[in-house]
């Protein structure tokens, strides 16, 4: 997620409307929320600009901020500026911009053994502490999967990977690797040992994905599938902010079709309420992970069709929960 600062200078028409109805000044909030962004603060300015609004927006906000500015242009001149908090900017300035990995040694027996020994520290303890209760349904649906597969889930919280891993049977869990943003989890030069690229590869089972890396970023996960390993990915790419699932990217489909492996969708509920995007505190609560039917693609399936099939499976579960609440997973 990213912060943006909106500076607005109202036209005479907008000022007259605000004078007659002061709540008009909050109309910007409705426009922002339609783009799945969250208003953090709004201020009336006593200077060149009339209003300042600070928002927390998804990573694809850059793509449509021009549309938002055009929408607001009828009543105000708007400047939309990306922002970064000073402590984070300071940390970024102090560290190297280069990334490490991927590390092919992470599939070696010694690395797998170390990861298994560290599982409670890295994953299970968080399930035990915060998932109260933690329910899993549909494990029987993956009993017949004996080769590599790609596990996918909806992405609403930093806790999602814990619920995904905890939902899987041991034969898949012990041999699974996660794709993670290289510029967040694999930066070199960090002091914290848990933020070192080698730690992410060894203990967390992660491998780096470069944003905007194109087809080259799929070479390592393809290699992992060739080695008989399982993958875990979020086809939305980033955490969703609104009520609907974000648009799925094609990476999962490309991998599944190229390597002829099944996709295992898992729909999770409860995690967004525990730690919403933009927050750091975690509130314990009920979590459910429902394993949906594995998806096997025909030889002639194209990438777009495959992505739509995965999306439809996940969205069916999502709509059930939207309409019936978190407990609706029992009816899926």
- Mean pLDDT of the 197-213 span: 88
Domain 94-331 top-level CATH class:
alpha beta
For residue 325, name the pLDDT band (cuts at 50, 70, 90). confident
Rounded alpha-carbon distances, angstroms, from residue 68 to 5, 36, 40, 277: 13, 12, 17, 21
Q: Where in the chain is the domain with CATH 3.40.1130.10?
A: 94-331
Residue 141: burial class (beta carbons within 10 Å; 0-12, 13-18, 19+) = middle
With pLDDT > 90 as the criterion, what percentage of the chain qualifies? Answer: 48
Closest CA to 51 of 102, 5, 108: 5
The 10s digit of each residue's pLDDT in 263-318 is 999 999 998 888 766 677 889 999 999 999 999 999 899 999 999 999 999 999 99
Cis peptide before 224 (omega within 30 of 0): no
- CATH 3.30.70.260 residue spans of the chain: 2-83
**C-alpha torsion angle, residues 29, 34, 36, 39 (rounded to 10):** 0
Least confident of 19-23, 112-116, 152-156, 291-295: 19-23
Which helix H or strand E contains 302, and what residues bound it?
none
Query: What is the percent of the chain with per-residue pLDDT over 70, rounded to a whole number?
Result: 82
CA distance 209 to 160: 17
The pLDDT score that the predictor gives to residue 91 is 64
Residue 14 predicted with pLDDT over 90? no
Nearest-5° angle of CA 92, CA 217, CA 199? Answer: 50
- 169-189 pLDDT per residue, tens: 999 999 999 998 888 888 887
> What is the mean predicted confidence (pLDDT) over 235-264?
88
Q: Is the pLDDT of residue 12 over 60?
A: yes
Band of the pLDDT at 229, cuts 50, 70, 90?
very high
For residue 167, name the pLDDT band (cuts at 50, 70, 90).
very high
Please give the full DSSP string across 84-119, using - where no structure is assigned. --HHHHHHHHHS-S-B----GGGGSHHHHHHHHHTH
- pTM higher than 0.85 for the full model? no
pLDDT at residue 188, as a whole number: 84
The pLDDT of residue 35: 64
Q: Supply the pLDDT for residue 261.
A: 98
pLDDT at 96 over 60: no
pLDDT exceeds 60 at position 226: yes
Among residues 241, 247, 287, 282, the alpha carbon closest in space to that of 267 is found at 287
Q: Which residue, 90, 103, 111, 89, is CA-closest to 197?
A: 103
Cis before 290? omega within 30:
no
Look up the CATH superfamily of 2-83: ACT domain (3.30.70.260)
| Strands 2-10 and 51-57, sheet pairing | antiparallel
């Amino acid at each position: 997620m990213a912060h943006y600062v909106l500076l607005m200078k109202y036209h005479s028409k907008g000022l007259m409307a605000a004078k007659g109805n002061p709540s008009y000044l909050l109309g910007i909030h409705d426009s922002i929320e339609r783009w799945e962004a969250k208003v953090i603060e709004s201020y009336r300015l006593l200077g060149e600009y009339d209003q300042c609004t600070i928002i927390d927006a998804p990573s694809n906000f850059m793509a449509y901020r021009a549309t938002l500015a055009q929408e607001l242009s009828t009543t105000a001149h708007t400047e939309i500026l990306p922002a970064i908090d000073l402590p984070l900017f300071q940390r970024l300035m102090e560290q190297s911009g280069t990334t490490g990995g991927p590390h092919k040694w992470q599939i070696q027996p010694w690395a797998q053994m170390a990861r298994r020994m560290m599982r409670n520290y890295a994953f299970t303890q968080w399930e035990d502490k915060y998932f109260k209760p933690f329910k899993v349904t549909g494990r029987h649906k993956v009993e017949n999967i004996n080769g590599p597969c790609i596990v996918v889930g909806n992405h609403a919280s930093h806790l999602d990977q814990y619920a995904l891993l905890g939902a899987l049977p041991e034969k898949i869990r012990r041999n699974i690797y996660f794709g993670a943003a290289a510029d967040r989890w694999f930066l070199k030069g960090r002091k914290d040992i848990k933020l070192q690229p080698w730690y992410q590869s060894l203990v967390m089972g992660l491998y780096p994905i470069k944003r905007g890396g194109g087809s080259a970023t799929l070479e390592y996960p393809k290699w992992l599938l060739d080695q008989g390993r399982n993958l875990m990915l979020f086809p939305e790419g980033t955490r969703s902010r609104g009520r609907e699932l974000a648009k799925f990217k094609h990476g999962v489909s490309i991998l599944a079709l190229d390597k002829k492996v099944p996709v295992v969708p898992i729909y999770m509920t409860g995690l967004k309420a525990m730690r919403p995007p933009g927050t750091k505190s975690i509130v314990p609560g009920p979590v459910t992970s429902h394993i949906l039917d594995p998806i096997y693609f025909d030889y002639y399936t194209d990438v777009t069709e495959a992505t739509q099939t995965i999306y439809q499976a996940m969205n069916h579960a999502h709509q059930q929960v939207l309409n019936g609440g978190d407990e609706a997973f029992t009816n899926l």
